[in-house]
Structure 1
Amino acid sequence: MDAFTELFGTSPLIWAILGAEAAFWILLFGGLAVRYLLRQRRLSTIMLIGVPVVDLVLIALTAIDLAGGQEPNFSHVLAALYLGFTIAFGHALITKTDRWFAHRFAGGPAPVKKPKSGPVYVRNAWAEWRRLVLAWAIAMAGIAIMKAVSGWSFPTSLDEANSDPMWSIASRLTLVVGVWLVAGPLYATFFKATPVDTTHGVSVDAASKK
C-alpha cells in the first residue's frame, strides 16, 4: 500500500480513472446491446452519448482535485494520458465495435479485413499515427497545465527528470510517438506501399511484369 501511495499519492483520482475506464466499456457494450438486441435505438444513442460525458466528468474531477490543493502526482498524469487516448482513439474504437456488433447480432455486413500492404495499408498506418499524435498533444497539454498550476520547474539533469512523474511521462510518451512514426507509417510507406498478391505471395507489381 505504501508503494501504491508513493506512486499515485493520496488522491482518490486514481479510482475515478478506473471508474471512467469501466464506465466506457459498460456504456459502449451496453449501448450496442440495447441497439441491436433490444432494438431500442433512442436509448442506445443516449447511452453512447454518455461515453464522451465520462471524459468530461473525469476532467472536472481532475480540476476539482487540483483546485482543492492536491499536489499534482502520477494519478493526475495518468488522467491526462487516459483522456488523450480515449479522445483520440475512442471514436475509431466505437465504430469498429459497432460494425462487429451489427454483424454478429443483427445480420450486418462482415467487417472488412484490413490489408497487410498497399495504399490503403499505408493510409491506415498514417491515420493511426495521427491519432497517437492527437493523444500525445492532449496529454501534453494537460501535463503543461498541471506544471503551470504547481509552478514551472525544468529539470537540470536526467536523474531529476526521471524522478519527476510529469517530465518522465512526457519524455517517454514523446519517445513512443517517434518510435511509432518510424516503425509504423514510415515503414509502411517505404516497404509496404505495394500490394501483395496473397494467392502467390508476391507483389502485384512483380506479378504484372511476368
Structure 2
Amino acid sequence: MIVTLIVICEVAFWVLLAAGLALRYLAKKPRLGAAVLLCEPLLEVLLLVVTAIDLKNGAAPDWKHGLAAVYIGFTVGLGHSTIKWVDARVAHRFAGGPPPVRPPKYGMARAAHEWRLAARWTAAAVTALALLQAAIWYVGGDGDTSSLEVWQQKMLLVIGINLLVAGGYTVFPKQAPKDAGDRERVDH
C-alpha cells in the first residue's frame, strides 16, 4: 500500500505541477496557478500520515517505509528547485519569458553552483534521516528496524558523494578552454 501511495504521490506531483503551470501561463491565471502549486506539500503530508498510521497499526517497518521517508526528504530538499526549473522553461517556451539561466561551467562560479546543489541534496538526505530516525524511535526496541537503518546509511552516502563532488570542484576547479585563437594556432 505504501509503495502504491508513493507512486500516486509522484504522479500527482507532476500532474499538479503541469496544472499549476498551465493555469499560470496558458490560462493567464497566475494566482490560481500558484495556489495549485502550493498544494504540492500536501502530498508529502498525506504520505507521512499514512506511513505513520501503517506503523501505528502494527506493520513491520521495512524498505517501503524507508522509501516513503526518502521520498518525502527529497521532495523537501529538491521539490522547490525542481518546480523553479520547470517553471523557468515553461515561462520561456509559452509566455515569452527570458531563456532559463544555465549553470556556470568553469572556475569558482561552478564550484559555488555545486555547493548549492550539495546543500539541496544534503537538506533532502537530512530530512529523510530525521524521518527515518523518528520511525525507528516510534517502532521502539521491540521491532526490527534494520531496513530503516539501511536507508539511513544510503542517505549518509548521498551526503558524502555530494560533498565530495562539490569539494572536488572547489579544490580542482574546471578551467575554461583557451579562446578560439589560441586553439587555431595550436592546430596548425
Per the normalisation by structure 1, the TM-score is 0.79
Give the SS at the match of 2:38.
helix
Moved over 6 A (4+): none
1:96 aligns with 2:78: no
Q: Deviations over 1:142-187 (max 9, x none)?
A: 111111122238x9xxxxx9xx3112221122123212211x1111
Alignment of 1:7-156 (within 5 A): 12-152=1-141
Equivalent residue number for residue 156 of structure 2: 174
Equivalent residue number for residue 191 of structure 1: 172
In structure 2, distance between residues paired with 1:59 and 1:172:
20
Contact 2:106–2:173 (8 Å) recurs in 1: yes
Q: Which runs of 5+ in 2 are unaligned?
A: 183-188
Relative distance call for 1:119 and 1:70 in structure 2 (3 A) is same
Q: Which residue of 147, 151, 155 corresponds with 1:165?
A: 147
Per the normalisation by structure 2, the TM-score is 0.88
Give the SS at the match of 1:108.
coil
Relative distance call for 1:106 and 1:20 in structure 2 (3 A) is same
1:119 deviates by 2.5
Aligned-residue RMSD, C-alpha: 2.1
Percent sequence identity over matched residues? 35
1:53 deviates by 1.4
